[in-house]
Structure 1
Amino acid sequence: MKAKFAIGLALTAVLCAFLARPLWSEDEGSDKGGGGGGMPDTMKPGPEHEAMAKWAGKWEVAGKFWMDPSGKATDSKGSAEFEVIMEGRYFQQDYKGDLMGMPYTGMEIIGYDRVMKRYTAHWVDSISTSATYLTGTSKDGGKTIEFTGKMPDPEKGGEVDTRWVHTAKGDDSFVFDMFLQSEGKESKIMELTYTRKK
């Protein structure tokens, strides 16, 4: 009995020692020069995050919406504020405006996953109980980011394929385009032009 107790105690001690060790040892990360405590580089903000940090600030937004892709666009106005959060790992957009004559607010969390090597976007708003999650890529260093994924379809139920394109027009302007797939055909349903407030 004493032997079993001693073995159990020893195993407990070994387990506690293992659990008590730092999650990232100083040797495991490539963080040389401090600032990360040995954290792997993929868990720290990278060049993609530095590029997105330029979005921080307040913006005026001019919008166009198409209920019918072949019809005339409806104009709208809004404002947005981008804020750097989570120590530079993510960016939060708070949007306020009108949609088809109704007050509309939305919130988006944008990031770049350095492990999976892709951009991420989560969107929620004041006219839906459904959230949208998309992933994206860029071929020009973040100037143009193309997100793809699925959006809930409130009329028919289920989901529809969607594509969002974020195109920088310099440091003080960018355009956001949204496309939806319907019966195998892609249609543009939204265009938002952001201009930095001075």
Structure 2
Amino acid sequence: MKCSSVLPLALACLLPVASAEAQDNKAPSMTPEMKAMMEAFQKAGTPGAEHRKLASLAGNYDLTIKSWHAPDTPPTTDTGTATRKMILGDRVLVEEVNSQMMGQPFTGQGLHGFDNVTGKHWSTWNDSMSTGLMVSEGTCDASMACTYTGTYHDPVSKKPVTSRMTTRWSDKSTEVFEMYAPGPDGKEAKMMEITYRKRP
């Protein structure tokens, strides 16, 4: 069997060894290669300082959402709420959003994490206005000011679109999220700004 770097398959590579030795009433043993593999997976899966920073963002928020539907035009403004909490043993922050968008009820879900293997922050987003998924990767500083690059498929052109997103904290309870993407002329334009105000 060729061992895989995918965790369930990698562990499956170790099972025949343990099973055979269990039949002989011996304690399972691992080769140095197997031990190194297990240590690598344990290191990759152990929450650390970056995950504790994500956990500090958990809570309930009130949102002010500004959306630009065309360059050089005033944005529309909506309100909403967001709930953030840690899941998967404090490894991933999940965000649930409820608001209005263009006069229609809007719900969305985002996942935010830090990959110990790549050393990068990552996020996903899907919502009630799409059946697709946006996947982003980026970096965050000590104050959790972040810059992400994400890709999604445009419903009209069917082609992938790359967007840039930033987050910053104006104070301990106020976060500002901004999203930029190519406008009709191909130049980067601001599409959205969301102000998160954390409830006490």
Superposition RMSD in Å: 2.7
* Structure 1: distance between partners of 2:29 and 2:168: 45
* Structure 1: distance between partners of 2:91 and 2:21: 29
* Structure 2: distance between partners of 1:136 and 1:106: 21
TM, length-normalised to structure 1: 0.80
Give 1:168 shift: 2.0
TM, length-normalised to structure 2: 0.79
The alignment covers a number of residue pairs equal to 177
- Which residue is 2:6 aligned to? none
Which aligned pairs between 1:28-107 and structure 2 lie closer than 5 A? 29=39, 40-107=42-109
User: For structure 1, which runs of at least 5 residues remain unmatched after alignment?
Assistant: 1-12, 30-37
Report sequence identity in percent. Answer: 29
- Which residue is 1:16 aligned to? 19
Structure with greater Cα Rg: 1
User: For structure 2, which runs of at least 5 residues remain unmatched after alignment?
Assistant: 1-15, 23-27
* Structure 2: distance between partners of 1:69 and 1:133: 25
**Could you tell me which amino acid in structure 2 is paired with residue 124 of structure 1?**
N
- Which residue is 2:180 aligned to? 179
Cα pair distance change 1:101/1:18, threshold 3 Å = farther
Matched-pair contact (CA < 8 Å) for 2:68–2:75: yes
**Could you tell me which amino acid in structure 1 is paired with residue 101 of structure 2?**
L
Matched-pair contact (CA < 8 Å) for 2:18–2:29: no
Matched-pair contact (CA < 8 Å) for 1:48–1:142: no
Q: Does 1:116 align with 2:129?
A: no
Q: Does 1:156 align with 2:157?
A: yes
